[in-house]
Amino acid sequence: MSKVYFYYSAMNAGKSTVLLQSSHNYHERGMRTLLFSPAIDTRAGVGRIKSRIGLDAAAMALPADENIFHHVRSAHAAQPVACVLIDEAQFLTRAQVEQCTDISDELHIPVLCYGLRTDFQAQLFPGSAALLALADNLIELKTICHCGRKATMNLRVGPDGRGLKEGAQVEIGGNERYVAMCRRHYKEALA
């Protein structure tokens, strides 16, 4: 039975690294995977998944209005697909998450989604909320705060390095813009 998996964490926990390793494992066994990355995330270039440790791979750039199910069904009919992997899954729409469940339920292909649970204001992203509600398996990937405790929060920092309380929910960035922290140090950084 195929399932939808949601691997979630704070920033810098290695989500993209785990995704790329999972895809590699399928390829090593002669199985085909399809990789998706939201078109909004252009840090590694459009249609690229890149981990902070240097691994990268081509992916389909996924606009918010793309029907993932139709794309996967068509690709699977041409050549069997063993697994679908989606990076930055917090940017999926509710409809796209529902399409992921259709891929699993109707096409019998596992869907592995990797993303943040919450934004810099500790609010759920729409894609994350839908995945928390609909995914078959929820797997937390862990990273650490500077104090050594588990980091669960994503602090957005300004050019001066100070924590920001306000702004748009989506602002693409990496280490220069976000710091993973435990809840205590996140709250202290915003005080």
Q: Whole-prediction pTM value? A: 0.91
Catalytic-residue membership of 106: no
Burial class (CB in 10 A: 0-12, 13-18, 19+), 108: exposed
Q: pLDDT at position 49, please?
A: 86
Q: Where are the domains of the chain?
A: 4-142
Q: Which of 66, 88, 171, 188 is labelled catalytic?
A: 88
Q: pLDDT at position 173, please?
A: 63
* Among 43, 57, 33, residue whose Cα is nearest residue 11: 43
Paired with 49 in beta bridges are 57
Q: pLDDT at position 91, please?
A: 94
- Going 129 to 45 to 59 to 53, the CA torsion angle's sign is negative
Q: pLDDT at position 159, please?
A: 87
Phi, psi of 44 (to 5 degrees): -100, 5
CA-CA distance, 139 to 55, in Å (whole number)?
A: 22
CA angle 178, 155, 181 (to 5 degrees): 100
CA-CA distance, 107 to 104, in Å (whole number)?
A: 6
Q: pLDDT at position 172, please?
A: 66
pLDDT (tens digit per residue) in 139-156: 999 999 999 999 999 998
CA-CA distance, 105 to 86, in Å (whole number)?
A: 17
Class for domain 4-142, per CATH? alpha beta
- Going 141 to 146 to 152 to 155, the CA torsion angle's sign is negative
Q: pLDDT at position 175, please?
A: 62
CA-CA distance, 30 to 33, in Å (whole number)?
A: 10
- Going 63 to 171 to 168 to 9, the CA torsion angle's sign is positive
For residues 139 and 7, the answer to whether their CB atoms sit within 8 Å is yes
pLDDT (tens digit per residue) in 75-98: 999 999 999 999 999 999 999 999
Q: pLDDT at position 40, please?
A: 82
Q: pLDDT at position 37, please?
A: 94
Q: pLDDT at position 153, please?
A: 94
- Low-confidence stretches of the chain (pLDDT < 70) are 44, 172-176
Tokens of 129: 């909320």
